[in-house]
Each structure stands twice: as C-alpha cells, then as structure tokens.
C-alpha cells in the first residue's frame, strides 16, 4: 500500500519569511498553485486514496481541498492538532532574517532545525498562546504548548500515527497526510529512523508529494518524491 506525505503549499507567512507555527494563516497565491500542482501530479500518476489525515490549520486543510479537487474525489478526512506545525513560541509572527540579526544565524538555525532546542516560550497571557483559540478549547493545559522543539512535535505526531494512521495502513488502505514542515519531518524521522543530527539537514519542500510504498507489515519498500 501507499502512504503519501504532503507539506502544504506556500503560506502568506512563508512568503513573508515569518515564523508561523500554530498561527492560522492562508495559502499564498503561489501556495494555491503548488497545492493544485500536487493534486495534478498525483492524478497523472494514478494515485487514489482511501482516507486522508490533516492538521486543524487552514493552510493544510486548503491544500488538501485543492488536491482532492484535482483528484476528482471525496475522502473521509480526519483532523487533529497533533499534526499541527511545531509551535514556535514567542518567535511566531516574527521575521526570520530579523531574528538572525538579533540573535545570530547559528542560534536561529538551532531554533529552526535542531531536535532538542526550544525557542523562547510564550507567556500564559500572550494572545498567541493556544488557549485563546477556540479550536483548542477541549485541550488540557498540558496539551497546549508555549513552545516546542522537534522532540515535542515528534511525541504528539507519533502518538497520532500509532493511534489513528497506522491502523488504517494495516487494513491495507492507501493514506494521504497533508501537514507541515516540522510535523512531517518528525514523522519521517520516526518512520526512517533518522538520527537527531541528520534530521537537522532534512527539509520538506512545499507542495511535493513524498511517497512511501509499504508491504503488509509496513516495511518501507520504496520512497521517493513525485
């Protein structure tokens, strides 16, 4: 069976070079075209899916919508905050180049790419803290991040993969996951057993389907970008 991972198309904050995280921003015009192109290449290669998974952020949801339109299909869709982008804490909304000037390129690279370094945390009364977003009203304080490193993101992504996604694959279903750069990096790290050091160099491009071909025991037989 097939498991296809897709990072959402370029968002308006990707375009503006801002840290986005859990901030709910729209796709840019380029991002819409990337999402449509991803759907088109999947259709041209005769990909069909039984179920799709995505985050609760609209840049991923809209990417999935455009892909399904190109595939001329409707699917059961499951949404979970556990597939959200990594929470960038107090960096959210700030320009990456300006942060490099302020903190140095090495520090910003650690915040962006390392597995174990968290960015500066939000205060509990900061309006960017997820408890102020109605989407997360049912989550406990322990589930609401003030900032996350890749390990934090990995923990929730793997929990969701094991509880919800893996059972569908074990039924022989073809699965599409539309999520974010860091949540997909976390999942790829887990599935491919990539080291903490090597994951720093893994970059997931926007709008390019990453395909796993799996055997019945979910062993990876092949992996490639379409």
The residues carrying an active-site annotation are 8, 85
Phi/psi at 95 (nearest 5 deg)? -80, 130
Distance (Å, whole) CA 4 – CA 135: 26
The Cα 7–Cα 209 span in angstroms is 8
Is residue 57 helix, strand or coil?
coil
CB 54 within 8 A of CB 22: no
Rounded to whole angstroms, how far apart are CA atoms 84 and 23?
A: 10
Tokens for 174? 């073809």
Tokens of 88: 């960038």
* Closest alpha carbon to 92 in 148, 171, 153: 148
How open is the CA angle 145-26-149, to the nearest 5 degrees? 25
Report which of 2, 39, 20, 12 is spatially closest to residue 181, judged by C-alpha positions. Answer: 20
């Amino acid at each position: 069976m097939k498991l296809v991972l897709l990072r959402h198309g370029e968002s308006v904050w990707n375009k503006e070079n801002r840290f986005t995280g859990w901030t709910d921003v729209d796709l840019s015009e380029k991002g819409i075209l990337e999402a449509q192109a991803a759907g088109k290449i999947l259709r041209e290669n005769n990909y069909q899916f039984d179920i799709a998974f995505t985050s609760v952020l609209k840049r991923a949801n809209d990417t999935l919508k455009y892909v399904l339109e190109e595939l001329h299909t409707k699917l059961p869709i499951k949404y979970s905050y556990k597939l959200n982008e990594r929470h960038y804490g107090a960096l959210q909304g700030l320009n990456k180049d300006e942060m490099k000037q302020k903190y140095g390129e090495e520090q910003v690279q650690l915040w962006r790419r390392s597995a174990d370094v968290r960015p500066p945390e939000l205060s509990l009364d900061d309006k960017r803290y997820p408890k102020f977003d109605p989407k997360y009203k049912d989550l406990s304080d322990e589930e609401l991040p003030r900032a996350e490193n890749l390990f934090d993101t990995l923990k929730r992504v793997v929990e969701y993969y094991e509880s919800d996604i893996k059972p569908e694959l074990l039924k022989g279903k073809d699965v599409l996951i539309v999520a974010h750069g860091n949540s997909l990096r976390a999942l790829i790290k887990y599935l491919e057993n990539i080291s903490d050091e090597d994951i720093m160099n893994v970059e997931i491009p926007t709008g390019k389907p990453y395909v796993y071909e799996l055997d019945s025991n979910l062993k990876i037989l092949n992996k490639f970008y379409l």
